[in-house]
Every structure is written in structure tokens, then in C-alpha cells.
Chain A
Amino acid sequence: MKIPKYPALALLQAGLTIVTLHTPVALAADGKLIATAGLSQIEGSGGGGIVPWATISGYDSRDQISAGAVVTQVDVDDYRLTMLGASLSFYDSLEVSVAQQRFEIKGAGIDIKQNIVGLKYRLYGDVVYSDWPQLSVGMQYKHLEDGDIAAAVGADNNSSGTDFYLAATKVHLGAIAGYNAVWNLTARATKANEMGILGFGGIKNDDYEIMFEASAGILFSRNIAVGIEYRQKPDNLGLGEDNWTDYFISYIPSKDFNLTLAWAELGTIAGAAGQSGLYLSLNGQLW
């Protein structure tokens, strides 16, 4: 798989072509209840902040297409991660996303770039309306552009890897003292070390492992969501890679725009312990 130099542009172009071929499609996607489309997670897929959800990013309904863009920065003690992403969603059923992660080792002048292409397909349900949770399968193909550090820390593969996941998400209207609640559970098969930034597989383990990820939140109004996320991670390199937790608050003033602020506790990364800090994410729906 070859990644174009400007994956976001290529994706938008492809999307526009599809849209122009499909004339009767409504372009301003607004076919979901506000705040039920979710956000874009740190690898570009529709989700929470660090966990991919079963939701298809964007407010498209069965007759609509939507496109969105996201920028996220996580700033912890010794590292800073910046993510730029874009996604296209088709008929609330298929999501295609591209993202670039830039991982900066503070004070060392080292920048590690990773490109990610994500695909997600909804298998069943509607997060709000079906009796059972919405279910989706997805994959994230990750291409590490700067693999030197990964090689240095003993990654088995320092160029690319693919994660596969199954996610279930449900919104319960009025469930908690009248407030809407949302939860998500994801099982991910992965070899990635620190999402792939430190390569794939390592001295300790070189096989796919199943990791569990979860999110839970309450919507205190139509525009404010508060919650917590958890993401289990493998320790293939034997560097004490930790599971991740974050506590988030999202402000969703309209279907076109939302802002998330979180406190991220990322534990030990590449041997440096106690990495925590602010997570800030801006999401926009282009149509």
C-alpha cells in the first residue's frame, strides 16, 4: 500500500468524485442527534479520544455522505504528539480516514512521523435507535516514516503494521437520572508499540495480541459530554509500556464543530515513567 504525500487531499479528491457521481445525496450531513456522532480518536478513526468506536464519524444518515477534519495535540512531560486527520463517511456505514501523527521527543530534536489509513464498516445497528449496541469492524494500516528509534529500541518491524478491531457502542437516552449516557467497548488485535510510533512487535513478543479498550460518558446537556476512557496496550519491547487512561470534557456547540479537552495519563513511554498531560482536540465537519 502506497501512501500519497498528501493523503488528506487525495482522500478529499476521491470523495468529491464519488459525491459528484451520486447526485441525489444530501451534502450537509445532519442525520443524527447532536453529540451522537462521536469524535475522531488519536489514530484518525471515529471514536472517543484514544479509542475507536463503532460510530461512523460525521453526521451522515443512510442517505448522506459527510467529511470531517481533526487536529489533536497531546502534550505530556517528555513528549508531544500532534495528529492531523481527515475522514469521509458514506451512508452511516463506511468510514475512510487518513491521519498523520508527529511524535516529538522534547528537547532531543527528534520527530517521528507515522501515517495511518483507517477503514471502518458498520455491521449492525444504530447507536441510538437499535435495541442492541451498534457494532462495527475496522482496521488501521500504519506506516512509520521514521523507523530509526523503533529499530533502536528493538522493534521487530520498524516500517508498518495493521491493527484490526471490533467495537460496540450504545447511547442510552435519559438513562442516568435523565441524562443521556454513552459507552463503548473495543477489542483490538495489534502488534503496535505505542500505537506504532515505536514500531511493531519486539523482543518480548512478536505476535498479534488482543487488547481491550473502553469508554463511558454522560451528556450533561445537548452540547456537553464528560467521560473516561481506557486503553490496554501490549508490552512487546519489554520497556514497561503502560495502559492509557483519559478523562475528557467535550463541547459540541453544533454538528459542524466540537472541541475536546482531556487529561491523559499515559504512564511509561519508551522507559520514561509518569507521562501525563493535556489532550486537546478540534473536530470540524466540512459537509
Chain B
Amino acid sequence: MKKFATLCFIFSLLTGCASTQMSLYDELGGKDTVAQIVDNFIHEIEYNKTMFTYFAESDIERFREKLNEHLCLLANGPCTYTGDTMEQVHAGMNISESDFNLGVDLFIAAMTKANVPHTVQNKLLAKMVPTRKEIIYL
């Protein structure tokens, strides 16, 4: 059990030391990288049959703009989100848990293509986690 306690201690040290003054938005690479993630994500959606059906009727330019703002907001960047709430946007779509996860898989691919490092990807995903309950099965 002692080994275990030591390990937990090291875990907590690492977490502590790693905190920096930089906002996640800066870590991501700011406006340009976020724009690139969103462009890649839209590209991923276009080539995925399941995801594309959800967006078939959507105004993609609006989606592009609002998602940029929303990601900026999630990453504590200097933006105001002018779109609708997550509930309002996704209500009526009845997005299932697995389709949500498909979205996350595509979003990870979009971040990887924008050269976002693994650790920074995870921090952004962590910010998206709490929004899931405002998006699925509505």
C-alpha cells in the first residue's frame, strides 16, 4: 500500500507543478489554431455519413463562427460567445451517446491534424466534458 501512496503523491506533485499562467487558449495556439481545428472538424463531419446527416440542413458558416467563439470561451480565451445555449442548439436532435462519442473522435482527429499536442488536446476535452449532458438525448 505504501508504493501506492507514493505514486499518488507523485501524481499530485506533477499536477501542481504543471499549472502555468498561460490560458488554455494560448496553449492551443490562439485564434489561428482554433480556426484550423474548426475547419478540420467541419471537413471531418462532411466525410462522415452519420455526422453529416445531422448537419445536412445547417448553415455551416454560422456553425463555423459560433464554434470558434464557443471553443474560445471553453479555453478561457478573450471572446464572447454570441450563439445559442447548448440545450437550444441540440434540442430535438436526440443525439445518442455513441454519436456524441463519434463527434469527440472526429474532434480529436481535427485537433491532431492541427498539430495540437496530446496533453493540450486532453485539457480542451476536459472542458467539453461537462457540456455533454446539455447535448445528448434532447
Contact = CB atoms under 8 A, between A and B. Distances in A.
Given A30-B102, A33-B104, A230-B1, A174 B126 contact: yes
A76 interface: no
Given A216-B7, A228-B4, A63 B122 contact: no
Nearest to A245: B3
Nearest to B125: A173
A20 B129 CA distance: 34
Interface in A10-59: 26, 29-34
Contacts of A216: 4, 7-8, 11
B26 to A, nearest CB: 14
Given A33-B104, A176-B15, A228-B3, A61 B8 contact: no
B53 to A, nearest CB: 15
Contacts of A178: 18, 117-120, 122-123
Interface stretch (B31-39, B63-71, B83-91, B93-101): B93-101
Q: How large is the interface on B (under 10, 10 to 19, 20 to 34, 35 or more residues)?
A: 20 to 34
A56 to B, nearest CB: 13
A175 B15 contact: yes
B14 interface: yes
Contacts of A176: 11, 14-15, 18
A221 B132 contact: no
A180 B126 CA distance: 9
Interface in A168-215: 172-181, 214
Contacts of A92: 97
Contacts of A175: 15, 126
A174 B123 CA distance: 5
B97 A62 contact: yes
A181 B120 contact: no
A114 to B, nearest CB: 27
Nearest to B123: A174
A132 to B, nearest CB: 13
B129 to A, nearest CB: 6
A128 interface: yes
Contacts of B11: 176, 181, 216
Contacts of B129: 128-129, 173
B108 interface: yes
Nearest to B24: A174
Contacts of A32: 101
Nearest to B126: A173
Given A181-B11, A230-B1, A230-B4, A174 B119 contact: yes
Given A31-B97, A173-B125, 13 more contacts: A31-B96, A33-B104, A128-B129, A172-B126, A173-B122, A173-B123, A173-B126, A175-B15, A176-B11, A177-B17, A178-B119, A178-B123, A214-B4
Interface of A: 26, 29-34, 61-64, 92, 128-129, 172-181, 214, 216, 221-222, 228, 230, 245
17 contacts: A30-B101, A62-B96, A62-B98, A63-B96, A129-B129, A129-B132, A173-B129, A174-B125, A176-B15, A176-B18, A177-B15, A180-B122, A214-B4, A216-B4, A216-B11, A228-B4, A230-B4
